[in-house]
């Protein structure tokens, strides 16, 4: 007699997360993809309460807002070398957040 056990796997559609990470990675294109990503992210805020995708949407939302804030801060700083340093830090930090989040989403891990 053979018994089989079936596991009910909760399958969550991650395509929205991948789309938003792809838009975030297009930040050199005049920041338009980042703003579009933030708009889509904020519009999805009420539909997802918890879970893997909700954790990534929160991660992306915080990343976008802080990146835009760093760019604004770099723009308003009057000292050129300090402004460029803030820009460089913001770009490196944002790239790190995109890579870490996207790889975590591919592995099925929350961030």
- Rounded to whole angstroms, the Cα distance separating 11 from 44 reads 19
- Give the pLDDT confidence score for residue 94 in this predicted structure: 97
User: Exposed, middle or buried: residue 64 (CB in 10 Å: 0-12, 13-18, 19+)?
Assistant: buried
- Rounded to whole angstroms, the Cα distance separating 109 from 19 reads 17
- Give the pLDDT confidence score for residue 50 in this predicted structure: 76
- Give the pLDDT confidence score for residue 10 in this predicted structure: 60
pTM: predicted TM-score of the whole model, two decimal places: 0.85
- Give the pLDDT confidence score for residue 71 in this predicted structure: 96
Residues of the chain with pLDDT under 50: none
């Amino acid at each position: 007699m053979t018994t089989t056990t079936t596991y009910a796997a909760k399958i969550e559609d991650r395509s929205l997360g991948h789309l938003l990470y792809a838009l975030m990675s297009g930040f050199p294109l005049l920041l338009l993809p980042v703003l579009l990503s933030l708009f889509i992210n904020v519009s999805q805020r009420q539909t997802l309460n918890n879970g893997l995708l909700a954790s990534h949407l929160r991660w992306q939302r915080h990343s976008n807002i802080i990146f835009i804030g760093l760019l604004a801060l770099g723009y308003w700083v009057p000292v050129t070398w300090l402004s460029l340093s803030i820009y460089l830090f913001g770009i490196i930090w944002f790239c790190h957040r995109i890579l870490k989040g996207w790889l975590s989403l591919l592995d099925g891990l929350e961030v």
